[in-house]
A and B are shown apart, each in its own frame.
Chain A
């Protein structure tokens, strides 16, 4: 892509393709920006996506970019509506790859019920990017029953995870490192907005906080929340749902799954009184079949995350700045 042809031409060519595939009335206006009507409280979120490889078992960068922003909005208690979409493409990406990404973007948008209303495409010289970078921003209006804020976390809250941990990170790693496990590990990237919306319909402000534990894994999310809100968090290792294959792969590689990245997964801090019903409802959703109560917000050890380990003993959980480096002597 872009090889031998001028940047301007390429951008135009790409633009026309993008417009064709993602066509919708707002986008078709081809204005400098989209004109949209918003009512009530609105959530606005943005994220850039860089993933290597761009195609991985269970998905590609395109749907990741849509789901990422859709889910970030959903975590705010919003119903995602409109997206912006920008590409930075490195010379050398093939047309076929690009169209495939674009098609899965379209597909993911349809699934999530969002529309791309504005966007941009830039091509950079070879070596100045990594095949393709995607930025998406999104807007959505807050669910009428939602009252989500980390300030609402309180002692006794139950912590519920929607599904298996570490699948996405291990899927990416297995392709990147060329590791052949017994069967292929699939990323679980998906949109969570419908699931969340349904939970908000039923449980409203019994849901205190929603968060998606992407980079840094669940450990990092918990530590951030504990530190930021001055509460203690207890996690029970035995309750953590994890796919057998993923668990074996982590074990084999000496990785701790609580530090491995996730997609299509969310964590809810809910009022103690609704925890069991919440779990039941969530488990009936396609995105929550493996859901489980994995922890509690506690008064002891403020700012600390403690994991009750399977072999016994309480482990201190921290954020992971960068790679896991060996510490055992």
Chain B
């Protein structure tokens, strides 16, 4: 029986929205290498963009001198992304899942990032401890 190889990659960006494109390029490159098609690559890239945007906006309150670490771990068909920061923590269970019909008919704004992440990825898990905040997202190649 052959062993499953693991591939790892890492990028760090400062907490600035103008650097989101670097994370997107990094994710789409590795998602393509993993074998995902264009539509999935775009969606995974958006999930990570949303996560980083939320960290910049809510975690760091737009302070530009903090860091966001993004790690990719590819094992077999599993594409795993770990996003770490040292910003403000929050209770992910308190984030309401929008009812899109109600959301659209009442012209609501914002709060769609987490919803997109959950719709797109197979797993979305937050882990907060005294040292750092980590978001783990997984998408399995079908």
**A and B interact physically:** no
Binding site for A on B (CB under 8 A): none
Interface residues of A (CB under 8 A from B): none
